[in-house]
């Protein structure tokens, strides 16, 4: 299979990546490397258009594609096929975002901003350190769950003692 520049934009490139993934045994290492480099460039460009920053870490899709492109001769055909399909999926997903003019907003939560302004994060980390917590990196889940005020029993009269209920 010869790689050509006959693709019709991004959808054509996605089709080319999927075709290559299905026929990986017919590709040379140079052709695979070329496809992966084109995928890196396309993902980078589409991310920029969508306003999505890359992390630059080993978890970043572009970094993973670069690692795969550099080590293409050491990977199995199944691994290469999976990488090409992943690249096609990334390009397709980003294209849908850009083509639909979807606005991607990557703002920190309002609560996290308030806590930061009030010095809450510093106090949390100081408390953890005082308790002997040592880590090079840490993660705090900032998700929250909200319930209607009656979900906690706010609409039910308080009981006079455990095991008994009040009648309204």
pLDDT 10s digits, 40-99: 999 999 888 888 777 777 778 888 899 999 999 999 999 999 999 999 998 998 888 888
> Is the confidence at residue 16, as pLDDT, over 80?
yes
Domain boundaries, given as residue ranges, for the chain: 9-99, 106-133
pLDDT category at 6 given cuts 50, 70, 90 is: very low
Cα(120)–Cα(113) distance, integer angstroms: 10
Average pLDDT value over all residues in the chain: 76
Model confidence over 141-164: pLDDT tens digits?
555 555 555 545 555 555 545 555
Residue 120 has pLDDT above 60, yes or no: yes
CB-CB contact of 82 with 113 (8 Å):
no
What's the whole-model pTM score?
Answer: 0.59
pLDDT (mean) for 3-12: 60
Locate 140 and state its tokens: 């705090």
Q: Annotate the chain with DSSP letters as a single string.
A: ----S---HHHHHHHHHHHHHHTGGG--HHHHHHHHHHHHHHHHHHHHHHT-----STTSHHHHHHHHHHTGGGS-HHHHHHHHHHHHHHHHHHHHHHHTTPPP--PPPHHHHHHHHTTHHHHHHHHHHHTT---SS-----------GGGGTTTSPPPSSTT-----
pLDDT at 21 over 50: yes
In this prediction, residue 159 carries a pLDDT of 53
């Amino acid at each position: 299979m010869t790689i050509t520049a006959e693709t019709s934009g991004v959808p054509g490139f996605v089709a080319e990546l999927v075709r290559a993934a299905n026929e990986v045994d017919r590709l040379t290492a140079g052709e695979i490397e070329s496809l992966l480099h084109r995928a890196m460039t396309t993902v980078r460009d589409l991310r920029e258009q969508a306003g999505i920053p890359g992390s630059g870490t080993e978890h970043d899709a572009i970094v993973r594609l670069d690692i795969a492109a550099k080590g293409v001769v050491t990977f199995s055909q199944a691994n290469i096929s999976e990488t090409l399909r992943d690249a096609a999926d990334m390009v397709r997903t980003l294209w849908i975002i850009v083509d639909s003019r979807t606005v991607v907003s990557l703002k920190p939560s309002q609560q996290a901003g308030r806590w930061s302004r009030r010095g809450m994060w510093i106090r949390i980390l100081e408390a953890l350190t005082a308790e002997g917590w040592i880590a090079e990196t840490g993660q705090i889940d900032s998700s929250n769950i909200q319930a209607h005020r009656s979900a906690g029993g706010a609409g039910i009269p308080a009981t006079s003692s455990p095991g008994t209920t009040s009648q309204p």
